[in-house]
Each structure stands twice: as C-alpha cells, then as structure tokens.
Structure 1
C-alpha cells in the first residue's frame, strides 16, 4: 500500500505544511470531507473490496483535528512526526495509524475510539 496521510478538520496553515512534507517524501495526502465520515477506512484509502457506505446520524462532536497514517512502518511514522515537529506543526492529539483492526471501522467509529483513548490518557496524566 502507498504511504498515505488522511486529514480531517486540519486548519489550512497546518494542511499546507503537512502537504509540503508529504510531497517531499512522496506520501499521498487526502482530506476527509464531512460527507465521507460514514465511510470505512479501507474505502477512504481506496482499497479493493471496500464499498461506499450508507450515511448515518452522528450525535457526537467531531470538531477536533485528526490525522491518520497508512502504509507506514513505525520507524517511518516516527521520522514523519519528527519532521512535523521540526516544521513547527503543533501537536494534533487525535491521530491514528492503519491497523488490521481499524481498517473496517468507519471514520466516525475511529474518531470516537481515538477520542475516548485521548480523554482517558489525559485523565490518567492529570
């Protein structure tokens, strides 16, 4: 699979910086639009065997910035996050990497899962 970064609700200034880094490393970048949040991660990554989903009602605040990494090793991800830091991209707390488990999640399910984890970790560190 081609290395890919999916972005959701990331502000334009940060989007430009991430796009510059991704382009220099030949990483695909794609913006998740609000009408795509019901799609599976496999579909959003244009993987074979994943079909368009039926939109559903979402009663959940999805206003946080989110970045999703696919097709990268842990080492590549570490280097990429270091480049983000070096280019003064502020930390994006909601982030995830493609796994065999979350490939079938809809973006909404993944967002909710990451949100829960983030808030649990924040409480543990308080």
Structure 2
C-alpha cells in the first residue's frame, strides 16, 4: 500500500502545506520526528520483521526528506508540481528499496545529503566547463593559458569519470580558482 514518510528537520514550516497537499492527493503519509532517525526505514513503514530499536542517542538533522513506498510516478509528479505551486522545495527524496529498508533514517538521509552535494557540485562543474569552453587562447599569456588548459582537462575528466564526492568537490574549487585568475 502506498505511503509517504516525511522528515522535515529544520523545515517544520512546510508541515501544514505538505499535510494539505498529501490529503488533496489522497497520499497516505506520516510526519517523522527526530526520534525516528534511529529507526530502520522498514520499521517506519511498518514492514513485517522490523521492530523498534531502543537508543539512548538523540539526533537532529537539519535537512528534510520524503521517502516513498509503492507510490506511482504519476503521483510523485503531481506531488512535485503541487509542492512547487505552493512555493516550497523538497529536494531530497527516496524510494523504499529492499536495500534501504534495513537502514536507519539517519543513515539514509546522510547518504542522500552526500549524493545531493555530489550531483550539485557535478552540475556546477559542468556549468564552469561550459563557460570556460568559450575562452580564447590568444587572449591570454602563454603560461596562464597552459595552467588553464591543464586545469580544464583535469576538470573535464573529473566531470566525466570521478565518483568520489570529496575529489569532485576539491577539483571544483581548484577549477574555480583558475577561472577567477582567467577573468582577472
């Protein structure tokens, strides 16, 4: 049966709007608090075989997350459109999988935050590569152009091949520095 779990983190101002949207779309949903961060996704969706874990540790995460169980693509599209129309953003979303149902909400959200940062950095690197592709060799001194060319090649390889989020972030920062020198 379809269901949506919603963790708001620091974005609690979205609760009333999301409640209204989910109700209008007939999407069964549950808002989760910080205590849910220690629980498995399977338990939070009330899947047989998963039990509540006792934990003395308390956590809070600032980011929000929606997790879908058996929700059709059409419903997700309607939900996304309604969210956008109501002027809010829910960037982090996930589907229940056989693998992540064993994860704690905290671990799933951490993984999604890392993935989100990776793809955001990757997209930013792409934009800088596009900008840099318009630079003209004859407009720069030889040594500056050589440093740029080397950095551009490294950034392109990073964009097309790098899977490590930390290496991608570092190369993005290095490339931005080179570009700022080019603009001077």
TM-score range, shorter chain: 0.7 to 0.9
Deviates more, 1:30-39 or 1:65-74: 65-74
| TM-score, normalization by structure 2 | 0.59
Partner of 2:122: 124
Conserved 8 A contact 1:66-1:94:
yes
- What secondary structure sits across from 1:75 in the alignment? helix
The structure whose Rg is larger is 2
Equivalent residues of 2:10, 2:62 under 8 A apart: no
Instruction: Report if aligned partners of 1:10, 1:66 keep a CA contact under 8 Å in 2.
Output: no
Shift of 1:114: 0.1
Preserved contact between residue 9 and residue 60 of structure 2 (Cα < 8 Å) = no
2:110 and 2:11 mapped to 1: Cα distance? 20
Quick check: 2:42–2:102 contact (8 Å CA) kept in 1? Answer: yes
Which residue of the partner structure matches residue 94 of structure 2? 96
Task: Tell me the equivalent position of 2:3.
Answer: 3
**CA RMSD for the aligned pairs?**
2.2
Gaps of at least 5 residues in structure 1 are none
Equivalent residues, number: 124
> Which blocks of at least 5 consecutive residues in structure 2 are unaligned?
125-184
Cα distance in 2 for residues equivalent to 1:61 and 1:48: 27
**TM-score, scaled to structure 1:** 0.83
Partner of 1:115: 113
Decide which structure has greater strand share: 1
CA contact (8 A) 1:5 1:27 kept: no
Tell me by how many angstroms 1:95 deviates. Answer: 2.0
**Higher fraction of helix:** 2
Confirm whether residue 52 of structure 1 aligns to residue 43 of structure 2.
no
Superposition pairs of residues 13-92 of structure 1, within 5 angstroms:
13-55=13-55, 57=57, 62-89=61-88, 91-92=89-90
SS at match of 2:38: coil
Q: RCO higher in 1 or 2 (8 Å CA, sep ≥ 6)?
A: 1
**CA–CA distance in 2 between the matches of 1:54 and 1:82?**
38
